[in-house]
Amino acid sequence: MSLSFEGRVVLVTGAGGGLGREYALAFAERGASVIVNDLGADTKGGGKSSAAADKVVEEIRAKGGKAVANYDSVEDGEKLIQTALDSFGRIDVLVNNAGILRDRSFARTSDLDWDLIQRVHLRGSFLVTRAAWNHMKNQKFGRIIMTTSAAGIYGNFGQANYSAAKLGLVGLANTLAIEGHKYNIYCNTIAPVAGSRLTETVMPPDMVAALKPEYVAPLVLWLCHERCQENGGLFEVAAGWIGKLRWERTQGHTVRQKNKAMTPEAVRDHWDKICDFTDATRPSSTQESLQSMVTVLSQVDANPTAAATTSAAGGSAMNPALAVGQKVSTSTFSFDHVQCILYALGVGMSTKDPDHLRFLYENHSDFSCLPTFGVIPSQAVLMDGSLSSVPGLNIDLTQVLHGEQYLELHKPLPTSGTLRSEATVADVLDKGSGAVLLLDVNTYSGDELVCFNQFSVFVVGAGGFGGKRSSEKAKATVPPPNRAPDAVVIDSTTRDQAALYRLSGDWNPLHIDPSFAAMGGFKNPILHGLCSFGFAARHVLKQFAGNDPSRFKAIKVRFVKPVLPGQSLQTEMWKEGNRVHLQCKVKETDVVVLAGAYVDLHGAADAPPESLTQVLGAENTLHHLRRQDDLFVMGVCVCVCVCVQGGSLQSELVFAEIGRRIESLGSELVRKVNAVFGWEITKDGKTAQWTIDLKNGSGSLHRGPGGGKADVTFVASDEDFMEVVQGKLNPQKAFFSGKLKIRGNVMLSQKLEVILKDYAKL
């Protein structure tokens, strides 16, 4: 289908000649009403004439198009937009194109040379865009183009003024892309090269003739079309070629050590590493960029002995030689139809779809368990804290991200029974900023192998131990074919999706508790990555295997970004023989959340459904999120409200109150919690210990290490403890900055949080 601009109102600045003229003609030809703005200045910004704009308007009208002229300078931004409103009643598209040159070697650049360039390019684009902004915001549609230049991106002799203004436009566009996104205002930047009066002084005539503006215009039209979802992009374009640019950053190097001055000599000594682009990363947001700095802060400050030779993400005591092949844990999992149905509901199945009944009703003649339920019996390996005690794996469980998942079924899953899962460390990879653990889990029913899972777990900050980067044991992700998907399913998650999914056994409060999620840097609790995984898998099963679980063989996904409960998942699928490639996006933000994914089926996949896109649910609100993954920070969240003053140890009063609660509710707490918590509160070089025993008898609170051995111990100063308890100190910050330390089974901190939150409102 050709791209039409019928009904759209487009303003092109500096459209009296060169590239702007070409854009104006092309938009008009496709039905847009065009405002042809041009001051009619000479290339240096002098003079003024209406002739240039008039001529282009005449050209458009002669071809039956709609256009009006505007002769104001872009420095009168409001007037340009007023012409659009007066003539056509709205403004949809703005192409900031007007430009002049005042090239001088830097030393000879006058104030006027500098100011004029900034005024026309940077300030002019700002003023016209600001005048258009609220109109676009109110109508919830806008497409804006900024015009930069290779001179801005790379620098060019004699163009200091122009380079500065042109790169300024990229910065302007980056922020407009963020601010405009939720209003469907997208802003992109192009760096064109074309023959025009601006370039005829620097290019040979045959090149001026060959590099036609018409080889640039199609990119501008696509970026300005309502169907184009590109936002915040930067493109070089010339001669019919178009390429996209992005930032790249080296792994970098931490040259600071705790309690030591950072020196220029340390910078000098590690210069090669600082500048080494091997394994470069590509941060794409300020949050992402800052995240690694925060990690460095916590690592350096928490570790007084961190050597100056550690990588940006810190040192590591990983020992693959010791760890690989080690058994992590063996767990058993008993279940019946209740767990199968709960899981099916957790991954979005609904009685609204009659096909789903076989997974939701135990008396259905084909009652079955969803194939991806196969991850559930094996997930204890990540949940029970046993990873941190494997020899050679020096893992901080709070730094663990679930990166990828592979699941292979050796037979269809039963709908009840007892399964035994055995987890082994298959490999440990050194990715510089972190380590990747490959955990293989075989799940058996008796002696029969039912399924195999490979968890790929990223441990932030555990890299740099000199290990290998890749492994033949890793089940690799595979990019989708380079064509439009064969089927697309859009399916809403509900506001309570995570609340429902966690009932299948992943109790991480990150997915339900707003304060815990905030500790992980999220605005709201996020959906389990394995929940989106379940959604995507059942989309494939329905579209390409008639919902028949016995045809499911394997699935692989990479978790890229989090999903918020309530957002819609858009699963895009490509059929290639027995394999269905897939990619999952959040519909509202167009952000890819599952990538490099595929489902392998027994027998060739069915033909793609006739209707390409199936919408299964309503759409929901959108949010921007920083790069974070599932299973993030599992710190401690203490939610006790208290106001205590005086006394030698303020925390004494908090524990006294906890003791009173245990006296009245002890047996119930023991039944629910079944763990012993140690607290070490420090003040003036002394340590006071408390033990909250909710494992034995009807529970007890001891001053000192009494009771059973603590399963998890928290260490904080009296002051910091009170700050956290009173909500003045964010527990995550306290944890990262070393103010709150946790030893032992970190996962149990979740239970502590439950006790304190529900039973100790002081």
Smallest distance, ligand NAI to C-beta of residue 284, A: 24
425, two tokens: 């460390």
Q: Which of 65, 77, 124, 707 binds ligand NAI (CB under 6 A)?
A: 124
CA pair distance 757, 515, nearest whole angstrom: 11
Q: 3-state class of 217 per DSSP?
A: helix
From the list 187-195, 278-286, 491-499, 524-532, the region that binds ligand NAI by CB under 6 A is: 187-195
725 with 705: CB under 8 angstroms?
no
Q: Which of 12, 39, 122, 692 binds ligand NAI (CB under 6 A)?
A: 39
Smallest distance, ligand NAI to C-beta of residue 165, A: 9
Site for ligand NAI contains 192 (CB under 6 A) = yes
From the list 34-42, 424-432, 691-699, 716-724, the region that binds ligand NAI by CB under 6 A is: 34-42
Quick one: 162 or 458, whose CB is closer to ligand NAI? 162
540 with 372: CB under 8 angstroms?
no
Quick one: 17 or 596, whose CB is closer to ligand NAI? 17
Per-residue mark of binding to ligand NAI, 196-225 (x: CB under 6 A)? xxxx--------------------------
- Chain CA centroid to CA 102, Å: 42
In what helix (H) or strand (E) does residue 68 lie, and over which residues does it extend?
Answer: strand 66-70
Rama region for 82: left / alpha / beta (φ>0; ψ in -120 to 50; rest): alpha
From the list 97-105, 251-259, 373-381, 708-716, the region that binds ligand NAI by CB under 6 A is: 97-105
From the list 68-76, 263-271, 341-349, 570-578, the region that binds ligand NAI by CB under 6 A is: 68-76
Smallest distance, ligand NAI to C-beta of residue 96, A: 8
From the list 70-78, 109-117, 243-251, 605-613, the region that binds ligand NAI by CB under 6 A is: 70-78
Site for ligand NAI contains 127 (CB under 6 A) = no
Site for ligand NAI contains 408 (CB under 6 A) = no
Site for ligand NAI contains 99 (CB under 6 A) = yes
CA pair distance 230, 190, nearest whole angstrom: 12
Site for ligand NAI contains 680 (CB under 6 A) = no
Q: Which of 8, 9, 13, 127 binds ligand NAI (CB under 6 A)?
A: 13
Smallest distance, ligand NAI to C-beta of residue 401, A: 42
- Chain CA centroid to CA 344, Å: 26
Is 162 among the residues known to form the active site? yes
Quick one: 52 or 435, whose CB is closer to ligand NAI? 52
Smallest distance, ligand NAI to C-beta of residue 590, A: 28
Site for ligand NAI contains 103 (CB under 6 A) = no
Site for ligand NAI contains 40 (CB under 6 A) = yes
211 with 195: CB under 8 angstroms?
yes
Quick one: 149 or 405, whose CB is closer to ligand NAI? 149
Smallest distance, ligand NAI to C-beta of residue 213, A: 7
Q: Quote helix, strand, coil % in the chain, to nearest 5.
A: 35, 25, 40
> Where do we find the tokens 């992943």?
506
Residue nearest to ligand NAI (CB): 18
560, two tokens: 């890229």
Write the DSSP symbol of residue 553: E
Smallest distance, ligand NAI to C-beta of residue 94, A: 13
Of 23, 71, 154, 162, catalytic: 162
Site for ligand NAI contains 43 (CB under 6 A) = yes
Quick one: 196 or 299, whose CB is closer to ligand NAI? 196
Site for ligand NAI contains 554 (CB under 6 A) = no
Q: Which of 57, 67, 132, 193 binds ligand NAI (CB under 6 A)?
A: 193
How many Cβ atoms sit within 10 Å of the Cβ of residue 744? Answer: 20
Q: 3-state class of 509 per DSSP?
A: helix
118, two tokens: 């900034």
CA pair distance 425, 423, nearest whole angstrom: 7
Site for ligand NAI contains 194 (CB under 6 A) = yes
- Chain CA centroid to CA 480, Å: 20
Smallest distance, ligand NAI to C-beta of residue 57, A: 13
Site for ligand NAI contains 84 (CB under 6 A) = no
Quick one: 148 or 571, whose CB is closer to ligand NAI? 148
Q: Which of 5, 12, 17, 553 binds ligand NAI (CB under 6 A)?
A: 17
How many Cβ atoms sit within 10 Å of the Cβ of residue 46? Answer: 9
Smallest distance, ligand NAI to C-beta of residue 39, A: 4
DSSP strands (E only) in 150-216? 185-192
CA pair distance 138, 259, nearest whole angstrom: 53
Site for ligand NAI contains 505 (CB under 6 A) = no
> Where do we find the tokens 């490959």?
438
**Going by DSSP bridges, is the β-strand pair 185-192/675-683 parallel, antiparallel, or unpaired?**
unpaired
Q: Which of 33, 149, 372, 398 binds ligand NAI (CB under 6 A)?
A: 149
Q: What is the DSSP string of 431-473?
A: -SSEEEEEEEEEEEETTEEEEEEEEEEEEET---SS--S--TT
From the list 39-47, 278-286, 296-304, 478-486, the region that binds ligand NAI by CB under 6 A is: 39-47
Q: How far is CA 214 from CA 21, 97, 150, 220, 240, in A?
A: 10, 15, 19, 10, 8
CA pair distance 92, 76, nearest whole angstrom: 19
Quick one: 125 or 589, whose CB is closer to ligand NAI? 125
Helices 124-139 and 160-180 cross at an angle (nearest 10°) of 10
From the list 189-197, 307-315, 396-404, 574-582, the region that binds ligand NAI by CB under 6 A is: 189-197
Smallest distance, ligand NAI to C-beta of residue 532, A: 42
Quick one: 97 or 651, whose CB is closer to ligand NAI? 97
Instruction: Starting at the earlier edge strand, list the strands of the sheet with 686-694.
Output: 700-703, 686-694, 675-683, 712-717, 740-744
Residues contacting 432, CB < 8 A, separation 6+: 251, 279, 311, 312, 313, 463, 464
395, two tokens: 């893992």
SS (H, E, C) 360-421: HCCCCCCCCCCHHHHHCCCCHHHHCCHHHHCCCCCCCHHHEEEEEEEEEECCCCCCCEEEEE
**Going by DSSP bridges, is the β-strand pair 434-445/142-147 parallel, antiparallel, or unpaired?**
unpaired
Smallest distance, ligand NAI to C-beta of residue 81, A: 13
Site for ligand NAI contains 70 (CB under 6 A) = no
By CB under 6 A, the count of residues binding ligand NAI is: 33
Nearest CA to 632 among 291, 281, 280?
A: 291
Quick one: 194 or 734, whose CB is closer to ligand NAI? 194
12, two tokens: 């092109």
Site for ligand NAI contains 52 (CB under 6 A) = yes
Quick one: 239 or 478, whose CB is closer to ligand NAI? 239
CA pair distance 569, 559, nearest whole angstrom: 13
Quick one: 50 or 285, whose CB is closer to ligand NAI? 50
Q: In the complex, which residues of this chain contact ligand NAI (CB under 6 A)?
A: 13-14, 16-20, 37-41, 43, 45, 52, 73-75, 97-100, 120, 124, 147, 149, 192-194, 196-199
Catalytic residue list? 162
